[in-house]
């Protein structure tokens, strides 16, 4: 599922971009060392309003204590680069690391996602994410007291 969040409020006459992130494999669980392949496309925005697009494959933690985030893969395309226009379909491919594996703990969770960040004119930016699971660690169970 793709979710869109605004980091800055949109002007009343500005449409939110539609971002599509599709992974080639139909399963949500991916194994360490596997190639993660997919594509993304941006619609409902004037191509002249796109300043840059960043794609990241990253993990982050949720839960008690400090939250961590680490980027495993990153690419940036800016307007005027030799790349095709920013709103067109783009493919990506990245080898997944051995760790950390996705983890659903009682106190902490480790999540993986593909994140697409759009930078628009006038300082606006939008984020879309596609979650996936790396590895198959069983869910943690609370210890009975």
Structure tokens at 133: 């699971």
CB atoms within 10 A of CB 66: 6
Which of 47, 72, 60 is CA-nearest to residue 109?
A: 60
Which of 82, 58, 54 is CA-nearest to residue 68?
A: 58
Res 14 pLDDT > 70? no
Average pLDDT over residues 83-102: 89
Res 94 pLDDT > 50? yes
- Which CATH architecture fits 3-9+16-134? Sandwich (2.60)
Average pLDDT over residues 73-97: 86
Which of 101, 87, 100 is CA-nearest to residue 40?
A: 87
At 106, the pLDDT band (50, 70, 90 cuts) reads confident
At 68, the pLDDT band (50, 70, 90 cuts) reads very high
Model pTM score: 0.81
Q: What stretches of 24-141 show up as alpha helix (H) in DSSP?
A: none
Among 1-10, 22-31, 63-72, 99-108, whose mean pLDDT is lowest? 1-10
Percent above pLDDT 90 for the chain: 54
Mean pLDDT of the chain: 85
User: How many Å apart are CA 95 and CA 99, to the nearest integer?
Assistant: 12
């Amino acid at each position: 599922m793709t979710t869109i969040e605004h980091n800055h409020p949109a002007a009343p006459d500005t449409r939110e971009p539609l971002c599509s992130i599709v992974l080639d494999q139909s399963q949500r669980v991916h194994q360490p060392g596997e190639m993660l392949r997919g594509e993304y496309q941006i619609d409902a925005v004037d191509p002249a309003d796109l300043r840059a697009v960043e794609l990241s494959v990253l993990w982050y933690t949720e839960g008690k204590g400090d939250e961590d985030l680490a980027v495993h893969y990153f690419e940036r395309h800016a307007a005027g680069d030799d790349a095709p226009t920013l709103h067109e379909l783009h493919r990506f491919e990245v080898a997944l690391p051995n760790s950390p594996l996705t983890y659903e703990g009682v106190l902490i969770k480790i999540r993986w996602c593909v994140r697409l960040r759009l930078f628009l004119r006038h300082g606006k930016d939008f984020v879309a994410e596609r979650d996936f699971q790396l590895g198959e660690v069983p869910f943690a169970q609370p210890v009975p007291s």
